[in-house]
Structure 1
């Protein structure tokens, strides 16, 4: 089964209405180029570091502008539209970093809340505490679509290979990794991580990214990518600016890669035995 996938690169600002207009324009472009699955980045609806500013534009899922516009676009264009994520008000003081997948009829197929929170202090002085605002998800999600089995991850999730491995073992053929990677971490690890997740699990990775200097002062790495199960980069965008990446995805390549390197099948359970060396508080075993 072959399908045409698109990764939409954006530079979302603080106004969901403007971001929705940008999303619609780029999604239409992807659809006009024949994409049947279209993915947008993490935080499509708003990138806003100021908590008060973010809360002023938050809506619950039923009233969210991005959710409504994505559902309408999917139905109008007859595509599978995957909003990488957008902030959703949980109405209990917390926010969900939630992705949505809509079908060609405009109906929501499923959603996914980012599991791993980006709580880090970078050596350039940047500090991030996603858990101060967002409630982490607790459920991994995979959906069986007509063109293949799609697994879900968001941004920081890419650093947790067990999330990808469990979905690969369950049959995932494509993993989605919409993101808003910082420039510093992106320069060091973005491509390496995406290619590693594709190689070690023998699947396609589609990663739509935020790119450039945002209104709130944040800078994201861009370089949206589509990677095949052998780790080859099929399409890649630049570090800034909007982009629509298109790639032909032949899911039969998944079985081919897994047959050549059958590590999913060869995996074994094991026990970790920790030995304390002499001079470290014990006697060597």
Structure 2
């Protein structure tokens, strides 16, 4: 019997709000639109919306984005409750959390039994350095009841080794919460995420933060999608589903994990196998 997983990727639009309860309502309404999904994925730093609850937020410099870390406990409590109440696995995007004198950009996966699984972003996009963001140092697969998954947060998807190490650990679905400020940045992550799906023969869930809340918060360019390898058993484009650009919505799809095995064994382009088969060719690369 095939192993089917119902996925939902949130195309999130940041907007000015008055307090945390308004953020909670925003999130709860979007989770309701994901009813029945095994795995719901919110995008990277959708929590920047919380900066707009602070007095005089429009006068804050962008370097003060770390102030949203004060909401971390409320954020964890909100998504933990939603996952338990709805019996779903929910990726609450990512949130800045204190780390010494800096912050880590941490993706949180909330489970129906109340667990919280965390992944700290390992490769920080240069612009993030202005927020005093440090880098994590782990890249591990997560065993869920229905699939093996792993995180590539935004820029991590542009670093092929991040997805490759997860695929070698058995990941079937790469979770890519993302927040890009321009259309160029969006396509850079989207094309990279799709390349990771093709070369590792896995599914990728690309969930995007968008919206135009105004300075100091950056504009987000968003078109969330669910991606597959490009072969006869998948859509020709490798795009299983995608949102309308810059429109808040939820992308839904049911994927068959057994098709990944079929694709690796008898697909037209066995890239995952061949990348490992000829690994001896890559060992001579100079190291920095």
Corresponding residue for residue 44 of structure 1: 46
8 Å CA contact 1:181, 1:222 repeated in 2: yes
Corresponding residue for residue 251 of structure 1: 257
8 Å CA contact 1:173, 1:204 repeated in 2: yes
Corresponding residue for residue 24 of structure 1: 28
1:272 aligned residue (267, 272, 284) = 284
Deviations 1:230-278 (A, max 9, x none): 361111112213111100011111112212233333322234378xxxx
Shift of residue 13, structure 1, vs aligned partner: 4.6
Shift of residue 166, structure 1, vs aligned partner: 1.1
Q: State how far apart, in whole Å, the 2-side matches of 1:28 and 1:273 are.
A: 49
1:74 aligned residue (71, 74, 83) = 83
Name stretches of at least 5 consecutive residues in structure 2 with no aligned partner: 52-59, 231-236
Summarize the Cα distance change of 1:190–1:117 in structure 2 as closer, same or farther, 3 Å threshold.
closer
Shift of residue 129, structure 1, vs aligned partner: 4.0
Count of paired positions: 260
Corresponding residue for residue 162 of structure 1: 161
User: What aligned pairs does 1:135-214 form with structure 2 within 5 A after superposition?
Assistant: 135-186=134-185, 188-214=187-213
Summarize the Cα distance change of 1:188–1:76 in structure 2 as closer, same or farther, 3 Å threshold.
closer
Q: Which of the two has greater helix per residue? A: 2
Scaled by the length of structure 2, the TM-score of the pair is: 0.83
Q: State how far apart, in whole Å, the 1-side matches of 2:31 and 2:142 are.
A: 21
CA RMSD of aligned residues (A): 2.2
1:233 aligned residue (233, 239, 245) = 239
Q: State how far apart, in whole Å, the 1-side matches of 2:106 and 2:285 are.
A: 39
Q: State how far apart, in whole Å, the 1-side matches of 2:159 and 2:77 are.
A: 31
8 Å CA contact 1:60, 1:89 repeated in 2: no
Q: State how far apart, in whole Å, the 2-side matches of 1:198 and 1:73 are.
A: 29
8 Å CA contact 2:93, 2:177 repeated in 1: yes
Name stretches of at least 5 consecutive residues in structure 1 with no aligned partner: 120-127, 275-285
Q: State how far apart, in whole Å, the 2-side matches of 1:56 and 1:144 are.
A: 32
Shift of residue 60, structure 1, vs aligned partner: 7.5
Corresponding residue for residue 219 of structure 2: 219
Deviations 1:204-228 (A, max 9, x none): 0001101231333412210101012
8 Å CA contact 1:118, 1:131 repeated in 2: no
Scaled by the length of structure 1, the TM-score of the pair is: 0.83
Q: State how far apart, in whole Å, the 1-side matches of 2:188 and 2:63 are.
A: 31
